Amino acid sequence: MKMKLVLTLATFGAALFFVAASVRAQFYDPGVSPPLIAGQVFGDHLVSPQPHPSVAGSGGAGFSDAGDVLDGIRTYTFDLAAQADLTDGVANRGDTNFAMMIWDMGIPFNSMRLYTHQDHYSGGPITTNFIGQDVMEYSVWGSNDGDNFVLLSDVLGFDLNGGGAGLPTYTFAGTAPSIIYRGGSTEFGVLNAYTRDYVFPNDYRYYGVRTSQISLTIPGGGTDADPELDAVAGFQTIIPEPSAGVLLLAAALGALASRSRIRTMFQG
C-alpha cells in the first residue's frame, strides 16, 4: 500500500509539471476553422521574380499568386526528392534537391494556419490510405531569412480509424498541430478540409511547405508527394509560462513522494 501511494504521488507531481509546461494539446475539431481576426494575416506566397521565391520540386509545380489569399484556388508542387531534407530536418536554398513553397508573413510569428486544398477528399469517411495521407501531405518549415529553413513539423503515420470509423488520427515529428479542423474553413468548407493551426516555440517570418513523409511514402505503398494549398496565415500566440503556484505544488509533491519512498525503504 505504501509503495502504491509513493508511485501515485510521484506520478501526480510529474503530471502537474507536464500540464504546466504544455502549451496546447493536439485536438481534432469536426467543424470548420473560424475566420481570421485582427492580428492574423495572410502570408505572401513568394513566386519569381519576388525575393526568396518558392522553388519547384522534382515532378513540377503549379505556383500561383492565388496562394496570397483564401480564395479556393490552389498552389502546389510535386516534391519527389524530399527524403534527404525530411531526414536531416534542414533545407537550404541552393542545396541539391531544395524545393519549397514559401510564404512571407511580413513580420515573425510563432503560429500559422495552413489552409489545405483538397482535390481527392469530398468530406465523407476516409476509407483508404491514399485519402488518409492526401489530407496530410504537408511538412512545415520555418526561416527568418527566406533561404535557410528548419523542419518544424512533419506527418509520419496515421491510424485510419483512430478517431472513429473514417476519422484518422496522425503521428507527427516536431510540433504537432494544436487544432485540426476536419470540416475545413468557414469560407470554403471541405475544399479546405483538415485545415490546421500550429503554435511553435519560436517566431518565424517565413513559413515553407514541402511534402510530408507519409505522402512521400504512403503506408501500404506508393507516393503522392504533391502538397496542394489554398493559403497560409500567420498570427501570434501568447505561450503561458508555468505558474509559480503549480510549479511549487509539483515540487512539493515530488519531495513528499521522495520522503515516502525513503520511509518505505527503511520500514521494509
Per the CB < 8 A criterion, the answer to whether 157 and 218 are in contact is no
Averages of pLDDT over runs of 10 residues in the chain (268 residues) are: 34 33 66 96 97 95 92 96 98 96 98 97 96 98 98 97 98 98 98 98 98 97 96 94 53 48 41
pLDDT for 61-78, tens place per residue? 999 888 999 999 999 999
Residue type, 70: L
- The Cα 96–Cα 31 span in angstroms is 40
Backbone dihedral angles phi then psi of residue 191, each to the nearest 5 degrees = -60, -30
The whole-number pLDDT of residue 259 equals 47
pLDDT at res. 251: 55
pLDDT recorded at residue 113: 98
Domain boundaries, the chain: 1-23+241-268, 24-239
d(CA 140, CA 154): 7
85 and 91 Cβ atoms separated by less than 8 Å: yes
Using one digit for the tens of pLDDT, what is the confidence trace for 193-209?
A: 999 999 999 999 999 99
Q: What is the pLDDT of residue 20?
A: 32
| pLDDT of 239 | 85
Per residue in 38-60, pLDDT (tens digit) is: 999 999 999 999 999 999 999 98
The model's pTM: 0.82
pLDDT of residue 65: 85
Please report the beta strands in the chain, taking only residues with DSSP state E, as ranges in sequence order: 27-29, 41-42, 44-45, 61-62, 75-77, 90-92, 101-116, 139-143, 148-159, 169-174, 179-181, 195-210, 228-235
pLDDT value of residue 154: 98
Give residue 24's pLDDT. 45
**Under 8 Å between Cβ of 68 and 231:** yes
